[in-house]
Structure 1
Amino acid sequence: MKIHQHLAGAVAVISLVGCSESLLDFRNAQINHGLIFSGSENKPFSGFVTNVPEKFIQSGSGYNDIIYNLNQNLNALKSQKNTFIGRSFNCSAEVEDGYISGKVSCYQGKSQVLRYTAQYSKGNMSGNLEVYAIDGKTILAKSSFKENTVDGPINIWSPNTGTLVYLRNTKNGMLEGPQINYDETTATPIYKSEAINGKIVGSAQTFSNLGKLITETPYDLGVPHGAAYEWDVNTGQMIKLTTYDHGARTGESKEWTPDGILVSDYIFERGAIIEDKLRPVQPSTQTSNCLNIFINDFHRANGDDTPINSDQLDEWESTCDKYSKPVWAE
Structure 2
Amino acid sequence: MKDLRHSLLLAGVTSIALSGLAACGSNTLDYRNAQISNGKIFAGDDNRPFSGHLTSLPDQQLRNSQSGLTQIMQFVGLGNQNFHGSTATVFCDVDVKECYLDGKAICRELDSGAVRYEMSFRDGALDGDFKVYAPTGDDNVISEVSFDAGRANGEQKVYNIVTKKLVYDLHWERGKSVGAQTRFDAETGKQTFQSHFDDNGKLDGDYIESAPNGTIFHKVQYAHGQKDGAEDTFDNATGKPTSHIEWQNDRMNGAYRKWDAGGNLVTDDTYQDGTLVPTAAEQQAASDAAAGMAYADCMKKWQRAGMALQAHTASPDDEVRQWQTSCQQGILPG
Q: TM-score, normalised by structure 1?
A: 0.73
CA contact under 8 A between 2:10 and 2:56: conserved in structure 1? Answer: no
| Distance change >3 Å, CA 5–CA 39, structure 1 → 2 | closer
CA contact under 8 A between 2:63 and 2:69: conserved in structure 1? Answer: no
SS of match in other structure, 1:199: coil
Where do residues 293-308 of structure 1 align in structure 2 (5 Å cutoff)? 295=297, 299=301, 303=305
CA contact under 8 A between 1:90 and 1:110: conserved in structure 2? Answer: no
Distance 2:244 2:192 in 1: 20
Q: Does 1:255 pair with 2:261?
A: no
Q: TM-score, normalised by structure 2?
A: 0.72
| Distance change >3 Å, CA 168–CA 261, structure 1 → 2 | same
The one of 147, 160, 163 equivalent to 1:161 is: 163
Distance 1:270 1:133 in 2: 50
Residue of structure 2 in register with 1:265 after alignment: 268
SS of match in other structure, 2:183: strand
Aligned-residue offset at 1:121: 0.8
SS of match in other structure, 2:233: strand
CA contact under 8 A between 1:226 and 1:244: conserved in structure 2? Answer: yes
| Distance change >3 Å, CA 60–CA 303, structure 1 → 2 | farther
The one of 145, 167, 178 equivalent to 2:180 is: 178
Distance 1:42 1:288 in 2: 84
Residue of structure 1 in register with 2:117 after alignment: 116
Where do residues 123-138 of structure 1 align in structure 2 (5 Å cutoff)? 123-135=124-136, 138=140
CA contact under 8 A between 2:101 and 2:123: conserved in structure 1? Answer: yes
Identical positions, percent: 25
Residue of structure 1 in register with 2:30 after alignment: 25
SS of match in other structure, 2:204: strand
Superposed CA RMSD: 4.1
Distance 1:276 1:180 in 2: 41
| Distance change >3 Å, CA 273–CA 141, structure 1 → 2 | farther
Residue of structure 1 in register with 2:206 after alignment: 203
Distance 1:82 1:125 in 2: 27
Unaligned runs of 5+ in 1: 314-330
Distance 1:160 1:275 in 2: 55
Residue of structure 2 in register with 1:13 after alignment: 14
Aligned-residue offset at 1:184: 0.9
Residue of structure 2 in register with 1:68 after alignment: 74
Count of equivalent residues: 302
CA contact under 8 A between 1:101 and 1:119: conserved in structure 2? Answer: yes
Aligned-residue offset at 1:33: 5.6
Unaligned runs of 5+ in 2: 309-322
Amino acid at match of 2:52: G
Distance 1:282 1:115 in 2: 71
Deviations 1:76-107 (A, max 9, x none): x34477899xxx96533211222111223446
| Distance change >3 Å, CA 276–CA 6, structure 1 → 2 | farther
SS of match in other structure, 1:218: strand
Residue of structure 2 in register with 1:222 after alignment: 225
Distance 2:194 2:61 in 1: 35
Aligned-residue offset at 1:25: 1.4
